[in-house]
Structure 1
Amino acid sequence: MSRRVRQRVEEKGKNKVDSPSDRVIGDEDLAPKAEEYVDWTSLPYDSVLHLFTRLSYRDRASLASTCTTWRSLGASSCLWTSLDLRVHKFDLSMAASLATRCANLQKVRFRGVDSADAIINLRARNLLEISGDYCRKITDATLSMIAARHEALESLQLGPDFCERITSDAIRVIAFCCPRLKKLRLSGMKDVSSEAIESLAKHCPQLSDLGFLDCLNINEEALGKVVSVRYLSVAGTANMNWKVATDNWEKLPKLTALDVSRTSIDHIAVSRLMKSSQSLRVLCALNCPFLEEDKSFSSNGFKGKVLLAQFTDTFDGIASLFADNSKKPKDIFSYWRDLTSKDKSIDEIMRWIEWIISHTLLRIAESNLP
């Protein structure tokens, strides 16, 4: 009998069983145990799906190639409702490889005219939002094709580069093909005709956010017919007849915020719009030389309305939009984001203000380059 192990013999003396209490640890017990095999493919569906949401598009594709199960998970529609392709080379071949996953794609952001051409090949018929950066060379043909392929479109934004090749013809196509359009923002058009604007007013009854920025000519009277508009920006537009503009825009029944930054607007037009428009709450007139030259002009007479200009306190003005504005924090945008209970209408105004201020600052910075 071994000295290291005491044994207990059963009654018949045939079966031998080690007694746990009497056993002495041997060298074999000190050896590391082999790790148990983990089958990653057997993880719960929800866990793997959450893992996919944390990955880049390239990593998703790599992980999806692991096995059939994960390939199926990687193609789940909930992973492909939104695409931000600005940092990727998005061309026709990439669009073709993504097309099978984009049946339920709702939002896409891209950069460059080549990417704009490739958008059509995604076959995302349910696309709701399109946002393109640096599309200077985009043409009427490309924009018209995008509109024709995406009839459910609700938001279309192209900028901040000037889209000089886009004409009013493309706007008419957008109006006719996208009746659910709610937001349209275009930069750098040479001319926006009355026919194009009236087409938007006629065919897009839900259009509430309209921006024609840095254009040469806009028909001011036609803009007064877009009665659904709540947020309007004509920032940087060169040739504006402010008498015609105020005559028509002050009657817009839902106009909540107006951006006239970097234009030739003067104190007469500003005063009239602020006093006559019943719905207007915010007027942004940053970097407007004619308005700033009049030292006698005061913005204190517009009770319940906010004028954002270089001679006003921007943060105090924005803070006054909130119900509890006693603190008036200087970092009003952080204050707004940290609010636990938010007002939907204030949220819309704040997002719009954030956009128009950032766009104006970008243009001012560009004009100051050596």
Structure 2
Amino acid sequence: MTASDRVLVVGASASGLTTAEALRRKRFAGRITVLGDEPHAPYDRPPLSKQILAGDWAPDRAVLRAQDVLSALDAEFVLGDRAVALDAASRTVRTESGQELQADTIVIATGVRARTLPGHEDLAGVHVLRTLDHALALRKDLLSCRRLVVVGEGVLGSEIAATARKLGLDVTLAGPLAAPMAMQVGPLVSGVLAELHREEGVRLRLGNGVVGLASEDGQVTGVELSTGETLPAELVVVAIGASPATEWLADSGLTIDNGVVCDARCRAAEGIYAVGDVARWHHERLGRLIRLENRTNATEQAMTVAATILGQDQPYTPVPYFWTDQFDAKLQVHGFLPTDAEVDIVEGDLAARRFVARYRVGGAVTGVLGWNMPKQARMRRQEIVDAFQAPASIH
């Protein structure tokens, strides 16, 4: 590439910022523009459900880089203006304000949007948590209520329940699966997590679907279960997953299917790439398309794409990694944890809640999970790398 080349990054969160930083570290001297739909400077999302929501951090502590560091990037940040359309042929992005931004290379880093319960978007007392503004609005309401119901027993819902309980609220966690994070860690570890939540005072109403919300005079009053029961609530957080933010790409000509579909280099079309939560790319070692929603992937994928833009031909083949903190439990997950995997405890003690669990399918290691044993879990990551030599065994 030459100094006259232009790169437009659509999305100003971790993956978008990392793309710009990686380009500069690799001595790209061209023009970089970063377009973001939020007015805030790039910030980190994992603290939103924990430190920010708990009030342990001031909001500015979640900012990824100080202003002087951002200025040193020599990149133009266009914030508070949402992308609404892409012309892939001319590589032009149109924004909500009417701007048209054209570049030689476009990197799509628009992430995901929180799912909602249809028909209840305008009901007072109902929240989702994806952005900094979401977290601040939710915290404000948490401080003025007593009874919270969290709908969704995944990672985010479990974290919100733990944070709210630590703030002293009466918290109920509701969802269709049998235990917190059952889909993410399987029945053995999710069962231990359920025990922890119960001991800390979280009411678990799991194993039944949520069919709607009860309300009075425009204010939520409860969560209606498929059993016919209504869980009373002054406040409800809906944490039922997220959808890739791809609506603006509907007429772009790109392949959209649970994200922006890309090749093994995260390339969606000539001169157009996708990174982070929105990208669904071909993982060569697994032999299939995957999409990951975690902080580590956001940065690692962005660095690979920056290298590809600058001429390095390397497929993106990560071993996934994510973590979660709930009460005194710190879980680190490497690889894939299929719900039907064979699980054995290879270090520590399950009863003591300090252990490493190994997940295997067909005899091949697909993942490891450390519960308050981060170093030991990380050391076993190589077993997953070795298993990549037999990709059919990784689910």
- Give the greater-gyration-radius structure (CA): 1
Q: Which is bigger in relative contact order (C-alpha 8 A, separation at least 6)?
A: 2
Higher strand share: 2
Per the normalisation by structure 1, the TM-score is 0.28
Higher helix share: 1
Per the normalisation by structure 2, the TM-score is 0.27
